[in-house]
Each structure stands twice: as C-alpha cells, then as structure tokens.
Amino acid sequence: MNETATHMPLSALASGSSHGSQRQAQIAEIVRDQGEAKVDDLATLFQVSTQTIRKDINVMCEKGLLRRVHGGVELARGTAEHYDLRRILNFSAKMKIGQAAAQLIPNDVTLAVSIGTTPELAVSCLDHHQGLRVFSNNLHVALSAHKFGTAEVTIPGGRLRASEADIVGPSAVSFFDGYRFDIGLFGVAAVAEDGALLDLSDEDAHAREAITRNAETKILVLDSSKFGRRAHTCSGHVNKVDHVVCDARPPAAICAMLDEAGVQLTICDEARL
C-alpha cells in the first residue's frame, strides 16, 4: 500500500450555496448528534449573534432539513437519508476527500462517477481541469460538471429516483457497460470489517459494479464514518480498487488489506499528525 497525506484549507463557502455554509454543516452535525440544539447555545459556540444563527436555521428549515422547536431546532422528520442533509453532514471531511481525489485525476480523461455526496463533491473540485468527459447516473454530479463549461457530460435515460436525483435500474447498468473509462470514481454506503463494499440497494451496487468493470483506474472515496456503518447489499472488495481516499486512517485490518493488495491510500488529515 502506497500512502500519501494531504491537507488543504477549505475555500470559504457562501451561505445559502448548494452545499450550505460551513457553519450550517456543523449545526446539522450538532443537531444530529444531540437530537436538538438551542439558538443561544449555537450562538455562543460559534461566537456569532443569535440573529446570524437564526438566518442559518431559516435556510436549513426552508430546505426541509431542520424544524423549529421552542428555543431551537431538531432534525425534520424523514431527513435521515435526505440527500441535502447527507451532503452537509461531515462536510469538511468530504470536501478534503474531494480535493485530494481531484489531484489524482489528470486532464483529458473519461471519468465515470457514481451516485453519492462524496463523489459529487469530488467532481465539484475538478473545475480547473480541461478536456474531461464525465459520465454519471446522478444529476447532481452531471450539473456540477456542466457548470464548468469545459467538460462534456453524458447521462443515461431511465427512471429518476426522486430522493437522490439518481437514474437507477437496468438502464444505468447498460449505460456504464456501453463505455470504457480511464477513471471510475465512486463511493459506497459502508465498508465491512472484512473489507466488503456495501450499498443500500441492489440498484446502487449493480451500477457501481458496472463502473468498476469498465474503468481502467478505480478510485474509492469515503469518509471514515463508512467504517462500521451498516448496509445490506454486498458487492466488491476494498482490495480490488487502485486508490482509496479517506479523511482519516481506516481500521488496522483494512489498512493491512490495502497494503497487501498494493492499493494506494490517501489520508487527508494525516498531515496534521
């Protein structure tokens, strides 16, 4: 296993952008972990006015991520797998992963990208690349690449999964099987203790399989919360990829598997140790 370490400062994120502000991401994580949070406590924690916190809360409530309770907020009902919520949870880690993954991708390549918030953020970090041909079954990924103005973007037809803006099913598998890619960039729902790659549905796993079997170089991006998380669809193994990009060092057993297989591991936060 070849290891690299990288640590890059995050660019300032405009409040109300598609990814939300850094403070909003932290608020979401606090509410998730504590169940609810008080406006006054958040203002003290972030050293800003209660008016500023209320503006953040207003944005997040309008998106359906939070709902107000007396003196504070809690997660809105039904947001456990809400795409916008997952996009901002662990945002700092995901953005670092995206920046590190972007450094592994050269100009002038064909790039297949899976569903998922971390792959989407990785694509958003490719805005200075030239000559990219991006293929994805996720509309968030496609629109992010489309905004560059320099990338050629291709998506499949088929059924759109409303909650995620993913095109899923046999059409997505056929789409990825119809091309050969220089690089496949993908995430997973979880990584099991034995290194198995896990997803939340057969549709997700089948599309990812199609990317991996048609990509010359395979890059797995995942934040450290994916280790030990539960998911039920098993497909693939962490030792069958070329690169793993993670925000923190994986469990020792996973590191040993990567080392034995010669997988390059990039740990974004290790430069701080």
Q: Would you place residue 82 in the very low, low, confident or very high pLDDT band (cuts 50, 70, 90)?
A: low
Please write the tens of the pLDDT for every residue from 46-74: 888 999 998 988 988 887 778 888 888 88
Q: pLDDT of 13-35, one tens digit each? A: 333 343 336 788 778 778 876 78
Q: What are phi and psi of 230, to 5 degrees?
A: -95, 135
Q: What are the tens digits of pLDDT across the range 158-198?
A: 888 876 789 988 999 999 999 999 999 999 989 999 999 99
Could you give the C-alpha distances from 155 to 143, 165, 184, in angstroms and in order? 10, 12, 15
Return the DSSP state at 176. H
Domain with CATH 1.10.10.10 in the chain: 22-81
Architecture, CATH, for domain 90-272: 3-Layer(aba) Sandwich (3.40)
Counting Cβ atoms within 10 Å, is residue 46 exposed (0-12), middle (13-18) or buried (19+)?
A: middle
Q: How confident is the model at residue 83 (pLDDT cuts 50, 70, 90)?
A: low
Taking alpha carbons only, the member of 271, 188, 250, 222 closest to residue 97 is 222
Query: How far from 116 is each of 8, 83, 269, CA to CA, in Å?
Result: 22, 9, 21
Measure the CA–CA gap between 270 and 15, rounded to whole angstroms. Answer: 29
**pLDDT tens readout for residues 213-231:** 999 999 999 999 889 788 8
Give yes or no for a contact between 131 and 108, defined as CB atoms under 8 angstroms apart: yes
Task: Provide the phi-psi class of 158: left if phi over 0, else alpha when psi is between -120 and 50, else beta.
Answer: left
Other C-beta atoms closer than 10 Å to the C-beta of 140 total 23
High-pLDDT (> 90) share of the chain, %: 55
CATH number for the domain formed by residue range(s) 22-81: 1.10.10.10
Residues composing the chain? 273
- State the span(s) of the chain assigned CATH 3.40.50.10470: 90-272
Please provide the DSSP assignment of 182-250 as one string: EEEEE--SEE-TTSEEEESSHHHHHHHHHHHHHEEEEEEEE-GGGBT----EEEEEGGGSSEEEESSPP
Pairing of strands 3-5, 264-267: parallel
Q: Report the pLDDT value the prediction gives residue 21, as an integer from 0 to 100.
A: 63
Q: How much is the pLDDT for 214?
A: 98
C-alpha 97/C-alpha 240 separation (Å) is: 19
| Spatial distance between the Cα atoms of 136 and 24, rounded to a whole number of angstroms | 28
Determine phi and psi for 187, rounding to 5 degrees: -120, 180
What pTM was estimated for this model as a whole? 0.77
Instruction: Using the predicted structure, report yes or no on whether residue 6 has a pLDDT greater than 80.
Output: no
Torsion angle in degrees (nearest 10) through CA of 177, 145, 88, 61: -110
Mean pLDDT of the chain: 86
Question: CA 59 to CA 55: how far, in whole Å?
Answer: 6
Q: What is the pLDDT of residue 65?
A: 79
